[in-house]
Amino acid sequence: MGCSYVITKKPIGEVINIKEEMSEESPQYQIDGIWAGDTVVFAKVLEDGKTIKIGAVVWDEVKKEFKIKSQEILLSKLGEKTYINKKAEDKNGYYIAALGSSFADSKSGTPVDIIVFYPNGDEFKKAIQEGKLAGKIEDIKYGGSYIYIESLPEKLESFIKENHNKLFNFETPTVYRKVRNIDWSE
């Protein structure tokens, strides 16, 4: 059994301008730095204030060397919930996930953890099969699937609001811990 990826045409909800939200009172938006989870990730908020460029060192089995893999993500709000929208240029859309609370260090205000809840592919598949959402399902050779949501953003957002608690795998989050703040301008 493999992973399922849910892909939307647009980010869920309203994209957050992180630079406008950054302050002493909102340390959850202090993103720049090094994070460790199931991999080590370097993160930087770009000049537009909305895009986070993330990079990780990965092994290239063919070339037998390490290389840096970069991706762009947007954070967005829908009601009181926050979502991660990772650009999926190969799929012409965004991979989605739910973002749990980040817990701030009370002394420094630095976020200690970012908790990511990946989509429950079975629930999104069921919604497409039952006609609650428009979309298509593409099985992946070694298990799992790509789930393309083709519903209008308003319909998808309404569906997510109503079904949030079963659409994401809250039992098995991926947790990223901030290892170090970095001022990338140095």
Give the three-class secondary structure for 36: strand
Confidence check: pLDDT of 22 > 70: no
Name beta bridge partners: 34.
42, 180
Indicate the number of domains in the chain.
Answer: 1
Does 185 reside within a domain? no
pLDDT classification of 70: cutoffs 50, 70, 90: very high
Query: In the predicted model, what is the mean pLDDT of residues 13-19?
Result: 89
In a domain, 15, yes or no: yes
175 in any annotated domain: yes
Q: Residue 154: which residues within 8 A CB-CB, separation 6 or more?
A: none
* pTM (two decimals): 0.83
| pLDDT tops 70 at residue 151 | yes
| Residue 22 identity | M
* pLDDT value, residue 91: 80
Rounded Cα–Cα distance for residues 10 and 150 (Å): 10
Tell me which residue range forms the domain holding 40: 4-180
